[in-house]
Amino acid sequence: MHLLDLKYGESLGEPQDNKMVEASEEIYSSLHQQFKGDLLRPSDSGYEDARVIWNGMVARAPALIARCADVSDVQKAVRSASQVGILTAIRCGGHSLAGFSTCDGGLVIDLSRMRRVTVDAGARRARISGGCLLGSIDTATQKAGLVFPSGVVSHTGASGLILGGGTGWLTRRFGLSCDNVEGFTLVTADGSLVRSDSKENPDLFWALRGGGGNFGVVTEFELRLHPLTSVVFAEGLSREGDIRRLLERWRDFMPEAPIDLKWNIDLRLAPHARKVPIELRGRPVASNSLVWTGNPDHGRPYLEHALSLCSPDSVSSGIVPFTDLQTMADSNFPHGRRYYTKSGYFTYLDDRTIDRMAEAVATIPSSGIQIELAYLGGAAARIAAQETAFGDRSAPFIRGRTPHGSDPSADVRNVSWIRDLFNKLRPAMKPGVYVNFMSGDEQDRVPEAYQERWDRMVMVKSHYDPNNFFRLNQNVPPQKTPCEKVIAIRIQN
Ligand SMILES: Cc1cc2nc3c(=O)[nH]c(=O)nc-3n(C[C@H](O)[C@H](O)[C@H](O)COP(=O)(O)OP(=O)(O)OC[C@H]3O[C@@H](n4cnc5c(N)ncnc54)[C@H](O)[C@@H]3O)c2cc1C
């Protein structure tokens, strides 16, 4: 079976389309005199490196990559692309699982030269540019003993993560990343620079917190920071025979756990690593990672209790600097491997669901696949569903699966296994999906992500991007203009 049969590597754009080639030439001509950043075409050195994104499953060839040096470059690129009508992708860290930060034959607006972080320690605020990676924010904010709650891998782009929501080790303590944004500055589809916060353009402020890249290119985020420099980190592996009991205990314990405790579980085959007991290597295990973000002395009894529920092997625990916590998973998710994921929410993990997960671990086809379980709740759950586009936070169990490998011939087996398990678990899931954990073949789930917030999203989209210029994303199409509606009706008839 070819990847296209999986409806995954679907082409976004047309590499051979003459109109697209002409359009990209037109944009190049209009930009190259005044553009301060780099304009890369396929024949240019540096194009090949600039073309690739993190997910090796997505290989596309844009006609032009506009690597912007500043906000005015972004405005120029958006204006000319909008006028010419070329398919345009926006890229921050290039970690879109779905591969939306590239396209075939179109334009990529690449923000990787815009990585400025400015911290105001007294006000506990930071301003970050639209191309920042999480690691650069952590490095800068830690110099002032402050943190911004974001994701768990430091080479992830901040823009895509924040705009979709943003979960990580600090979510239970400080909320989602988007809950900690005070204001956005963005370039909208007509090239205007627009500010949005709780007072200025409040509808847009609502939509940008969870609505992804639908509304414009965010060139600056104003972030709220919190004091924290280290955490207590503990980890341990539970054996295959203990997985059912572990999941039951975790399910029952977490709703009452303090918000300072984050406990993630990955069901997987144990790695062939020195710290893993020989008899467990390659065997199905539950890998427990626990983080305590409060006073270490207060956390000790909770961590000890939690660990007693896991019956774990090879336990390690200790105080780790925040930047170490934020980089410890980096090498598990290398660039260029082949990744695919499906995810969803559970209000409750019933026994049947736990059985299905435990049975599934025994059939995992490759060591790269893991079933990731996280418990949200805490500060993230204190914000009401209608307050942000991210929406409902009432289902605390979130699950995703991310396999990776370098062998394309294993795609069919791995992807089929994931889809199969997803279909088995789906009946127990609550409707809803986190847009940042969606793959490229799931556009039909976008309405499910926004549910009762859909109409408001469409309204804001129609106002700021009526022609759907920003469409390479978990797309919320604008309302059709009356004229388009007539044409659609005629075509149907
Ligand atoms: C290794 C890895 C680890 C991850 N860990 C976490 C995690 O811990 N928590 C979590 O919540 N998510 C996590 N994710 C998912 C992550 O949030 C999304 O993949 C996100 O899209 C990555 O952002 P990016 O800027 O790198 O993406 P890109 O691929 O650069 O962009 C993705 C999309 O975001 C939009 N976008 C990007 N920049 C801008 C901008 N400046 N303005 C407007 N729109 C923009 C565009 O629509 C674009 O298509 C992880 C992903 C990976 C690959």
Check residue 298 and give its pLDDT: 96
Residue 289 pLDDT: 96
Confidence of residue 8 (pLDDT cuts 50, 70, 90): very low
For ligand 1, is residue 217 a contact (CB within 6 Å)? Answer: yes
Do residues 203 and 194 make contact, with C-beta atoms less than 8 angstroms apart? no
CA of 355 to the centre of ligand 1 (A): 32
Give the pLDDT confidence score for residue 7 in this predicted structure. Answer: 46
φ, ψ of residue 291 to 5 degrees: the values are: -125, 130
Provide the angle, in degrees to the nearest 10, between the axes of the packed helices 243-253 and 296-310: 140
Distance CA 294, CA 408 (A): 44
Tell me: the pLDDT tens digits for 69-80? 999 999 999 999
CB neighbourhood size of 384 (10 A): 11
- pLDDT recorded at residue 252: 96
Q: Which atom of ligand 1 is nearest to the CA of 95?
A: 26
340/348 Cα distance (integer angstroms): 25
Cβ(469) to ligand 1 under 6 A? no
Residues with Cβ within 8 Å of residue 228, at least 6 apart in sequence? 145, 146, 147, 170, 293, 322
Q: Which of 231, 251, 207 is nearest to 324 (CA)?
A: 231
CA distances from 225 to 136, 161, 183, 197 (A): 14, 17, 13, 17
Q: What is the mean pLDDT of residues 381-393?
A: 93
pLDDT greater than 70 at residue 402:
no
- Number of CB atoms found within 10 A of residue 202's CB: 11
CA dist 269 and 287 (Å) reads 9
Higher-pLDDT residue of 32 and 489 is 32
Strand partners for 109: 66, 90
Q: Ligand 1 within 6 A of 129 CB?
A: no
Please tell me the predicted confidence (pLDDT) of residue 387: 97
CA 437 to ligand 1: nearest atom: 15
CA angle, 421 then 427 then 432, to 5°: 95
The pLDDT tens digits of the residues spanning 58-69 come to 999 999 999 999
For 420, residues 6+ apart whose C-beta sits below 8 A from its C-beta are: none
For β-strands 226-227 and 193-197, DSSP reports them as unpaired
Answer whether residue 392 shows pLDDT above 90.
no
The preferred substitution site among 57, 67, 95 for testing ligand 1, maximizing ligand atoms within 8 Å of CB, is 95
In this structure, which CATH number among 3.40.80.10, 3.40.50.720, 3.40.50.2300, 3.30.465.10 belongs to the domain 117-227? 3.30.465.10
Give pLDDT, residue 491.
43
What is the distance between the alpha carbons of residues 158 and 127, in angstroms, rounded to a whole number?
A: 12
Sequence ranges of the domains in the chain: 3-110, 117-227, 230-446, 453-492
User: Is CATH 3.40.50.2300 what the domain over 230-446 is classified as, yes or no?
Assistant: no
Q: What is the pTM of this model?
A: 0.95
Residue 11 is predicted with a pLDDT of 57
- Asked whether 62 lines ligand 1 (CB < 6 A), one says no
Its CATH architecture, for the domain 3-110, is 2-Layer Sandwich (3.30)
- 255 C-alpha to center of ligand 1: Å? 28
Mean pLDDT of 291-316: 92
| 304 burial type by CB count under 10 A (0-12 exposed, 13-18 middle, 19+ buried) | exposed
**Confidence band for 15, pLDDT divided at 50, 70 and 90:** low
- Report whether pLDDT(359) > 70: yes
Q: Which range has the worst mean pLDDT, 165-174, 187-196, 320-329, 406-415? A: 406-415
- Looking up tokens 């105001």 gives 120
Phi, psi of 334 (to 5 degrees): -70, 155
Q: Is 396 in the pocket of ligand 1 (CB under 6 A)?
A: no
Strands annotated E in 312-423: 313-321, 338-339, 343-346, 371-375, 397-401, 404-405
Ligand 1 centroid, distance to 438 Cα (angstroms): 11
Identify the residue whose C-alpha is closest to ligand 1 atom 3. 153
Give the span between the Cα atoms of 423 and 430, in whole angstroms.
13
d(CA 381, CA 263): 16
pLDDT digits (tens, 9 = 90+) for 451-486: 999 999 999 999 999 999 999 999 999 997 655 554
User: Is the beta carbon of 473 within 6 A of some atom in ligand 1?
Assistant: yes
- State pLDDT tens for residues 112-132: 999 999 999 999 999 999 999
Q: What percent of the chain has pLDDT over 70?
A: 93
pLDDT above 60: residue 152 = yes
End-to-end CA gap in the chain: 37
pLDDT value at position 481?
A: 61
β-pairing verdict for 107-110 and 88-91: parallel
CA distance 158 to 333: 16
CA–CA separation, 491 and 468 (whole Å) = 21
Q: Find the Cα–Cα–Cα–Cα dihedral 395, 397, 398, 401, rounded to 10°.
A: -150
**Radius of gyration from C-alpha coordinates of the chain:** 23
Q: How does 452-477 read in b/e, with b if 16+ C-beta sit within 10 Å?
A: ebbebbbebbbbbbeeebbbbbbbbe
What's residue 3's pLDDT? 41
Mean pLDDT of 318-335: 96
